[in-house]
């Protein structure tokens, strides 16, 4: 399983969340620092579109590990909740297309 780590201690706002995701996930220069853009990029993990630095096979998952998630929960609880909601929505999108879920969110 592919894995990426986000530093939850460094995330205290939407701006810092998107900066951390851009760094860790390799989003393109055109990434607009919104949750809609995050969902769009993460919806192409099995395509050759280059929306992230990851390219998953048909049965692979990307594990998103939020290190120091307690710090993020303290500083940006709504953002952590939105992240979990978006991961669930993306997995539903993959399932709607007859594919296996592509993401796993791990809070450490």
Question: Hey, how many other C-beta atoms are within 10 angstroms of the C-beta on 93?
Answer: 15
Location of structure tokens 């590990």: 65
pLDDT band at 3 (very low <50, low <70, confident <90, very high): very high
Give helix 77-96 / helix 35-42 axis angle, nearest 10°: 40
Please give the residue range of the domain that contains residue 88. 2-107
Find the CATH number of the domain harbouring 84.
Answer: 3.30.370.10
Q: CA 58 to CA 60: how far, in whole Å?
A: 6
pLDDT band at 35 (very low <50, low <70, confident <90, very high): very high
- Tell me the pLDDT tens digit for each residue of 9-24: 999 999 999 999 999 9
Domain count, the chain: 1
What are residue 5's DSSP bridge partners?
A: 65
Question: Hey, how many other C-beta atoms are within 10 angstroms of the C-beta on 105?
Answer: 18
- Tell me the pLDDT tens digit for each residue of 91-104: 999 999 999 999 99
What are residue 105's DSSP bridge partners?
A: 64
Prediction pTM value: 0.94
Q: Please report which residue ranges of 7-76 form alpha helices under DSSP H.
A: 14-25, 35-42, 69-75
């Amino acid at each position: 399983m592919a894995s990426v780590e986000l530093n939850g201690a460094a995330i205290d706002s939407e701006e810092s969340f998107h900066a951390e995701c851009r760094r860790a996930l390799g989003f393109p220069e055109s990434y607009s620092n919104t949750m809609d853009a995050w969902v769009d990029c993460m919806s192409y993990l099995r395509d050759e579109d280059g929306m992230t630095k990851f390219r998953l096979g048909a049965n692979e998952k990307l594990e998103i590990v939020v290190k120091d998630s307690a710090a993020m929960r303290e500083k940006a609880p709504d953002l952590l909740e939105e992240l979990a909601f978006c991961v669930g929505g993306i997995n539903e999108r993959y399932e709607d297309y007859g594919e296996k879920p592509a993401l796993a969110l791990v809070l450490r």
